Amino acid sequence: MTDTALLAVLLATAAGALAGGAWVAGRRKAGERQRPGFRSSPHYTEGLHCLATGQLETAIHELGKVLRDHPDAVEVQQVLSHLYREVGKVERAIEIHRALLARKDLTRAERAYALASLGTDYRKAGMLDRATQAYGDALDVDPRNVHALAGRQKLHEDQRSYSLLGELATRPRTRYLARLRNPSPKVGEGS
């Protein structure tokens, strides 16, 4: 084998090793993005277990520990805020949702969900004007956000605004919500 051929083989081997290393590193980073670090926390698992067994205060405590280690975990913040609302700490739920909405890195879906959740917080706190505004903002971000549609419908039911409910029922967004709740049978299926 000539020196040129040997050099070409060595360069090809080195290039292949570098390409393989880059591919492995890329796959590793993709895997890290797909599974956030908070999911590997034992506190996360324990928090979910407590939530499933109805131990809301313990779930709040465990998920709070997760947030101390992973303060950017949007999903954990959302669940924790809902738990606070469920145990009557609506002010704390509002704080969490406002902090979430101040973030610039939320996706459209996350922003719409946080706005709709804030609307529910306001509704539970009796701040109906703010609830109406938050639900409207959520629907501006995502017109098909089921959480916002259901929340606005519930708000009108609570206020006994039946004329507004009738008006809402004719809108495409609300018809979409009704179809999601009660899907019609497909052609050929029995009634």
Could you give the domains of the chain?
A: 40-106 (1.25.40.10)
pLDDT at residue 165, rounded to an integer: 46
CB 56 within 8 A of CB 75: no
- Write out the DSSP string of 32-96: HHHS-GGGG-HHHHHHHHHHHTT-HHHHHHHHHHHHHH-TT-HHHHHHHHHHHHHTT-HHHHHHH
Each of the 191 residues of the chain gets a pLDDT tens digit; together they read 677 777 677 777 777 776 777 777 777 665 555 545 888 888 999 999 998 999 999 999 999 999 999 988 999 999 999 999 999 999 999 999 999 999 999 999 999 999 999 999 999 999 999 999 999 999 999 998 999 999 988 888 877 765 554 555 555 555 555 555 565 555 555 54
> Left (φ > 0), alpha (ψ -120 to 50) or beta: where does 107 sit?
beta
pLDDT at residue 191, rounded to an integer: 46
pLDDT at residue 9, rounded to an integer: 72
CA distance 80 to 84: 6
Which residues have CB under 8 Å from 70's CB, separation 6+?
Answer: 36, 37, 38, 41, 76
pTM: 0.66
pLDDT at residue 66, rounded to an integer: 92
Which residues have CB under 8 Å from 111's CB, separation 6+?
Answer: 101, 141
